[in-house]
Amino acid sequence: LLQHGQLSSAVSLQRSRSAVAGVRGFSSSTVRPKCAAALKGFSTSSRGGSIRTRAEMPQVGEFYEVNLEKPIGLGFARGNDGRAYVIKCDPKKGNLDPRCEVGDKMVAISASFGDDVWTAENFGQIMYAIRTRNGGLYFKFEKRDGDMSFLEMDNKDREFKKERAGGNYGAGTREVQMRNYITSKENERVRTELFNQGLEDYNSGKYEDAIYKFEDVLGMEPPNYVGDNFARITPMYEVAGYNIACCYSKMGNWQPGLGALNDALNSGFDDFDKVRNADGLKELRKAEPEKFQKILDRYDEPVFDPKLVEGFKNLFGLGKK
């Protein structure tokens, strides 16, 4: 498993635990049994944005239910309240429902297995359920009509934006800027703390709890980030993604592990030697060697094509006794 500091010394890994008290306080109570039958009489999944449902578009504040087969084309971010919100609807990534829009809030999701449904109160648990569930996914969303205030650092951000758009720069603007700066530093501290708690859970063999923490780290990725090297993704995001793959490897959950590894490499994680040799992915490499190598070759193309090398050996009789 990777320590965040191995890739970036710019982020101080603080150890305070007080700010994230209750991060594990999600509810796993069943709010709707038999989620596979939650929607009847119409199809809710679509590709390419084509509408296949007779359901009317819900109004702001109304709730609607969706069944989608994996892969899904929805992307989620962790809001300031710790809940999951839609930030992307991409038909190229997977199945969509035409009622889902950016800004909608998830209020319930099918459990990682079985017919139970979890109240969607913890982002890490939500992402765990999406990765690990076999078959279709049940969601319940609240329509928000594109409201993205869940990502705003300060409740007065709208006032600040309105003032700035009018060409004004007064005390109100400076106050909000200072508050947002303080809030961003606090979010960074909490995010680092979650990362450290994930490491502690991993080292204690609590791999599922570690996944929840690392998924929270991914969900708290700051928007519009630009690093000193012009990178658009934080080093902590890359490392947390890799660590999630290690957790699934240790749990013997191969398909989510391969998916997490692909996501980590796609985000920019490029310590390929560690991917090939580190203990964290040992079980996954052994269980799925071909799929593992295929993902690795996608991002780190080998200098020599193994098939080509083998062809030369056969052609010249090399390696034969």
Residue 51: pLDDT band (50, 70, 90) is very low
More confident residue, 75 or 305: 75
Decide if pLDDT at 94 tops 70: yes
Q: How far is CA 156 from CA 79, 159, 163, 178, in A?
A: 16, 5, 11, 12
63 with 140: CB under 8 angstroms?
Answer: yes
Binning the chain into helix, strand and coil, the percentages to the nearest 5 are: 45, 10, 45
More confident residue, 123 or 224: 123
Closest CA to 198 of 184, 215, 186, 220: 215
Q: Can you give the pLDDT at residue 53? A: 45
132 with 253: CB under 8 angstroms?
Answer: yes
Q: Can you give the pLDDT at residue 11? A: 40
Decide if pLDDT at 317 tops 70: no
129 with 118: CB under 8 angstroms?
Answer: yes
The pTM (predicted TM-score) of the whole model is: 0.70
Range in 138-147, 162-171, 220-229, 262-271 with the lowest mean pLDDT: 162-171
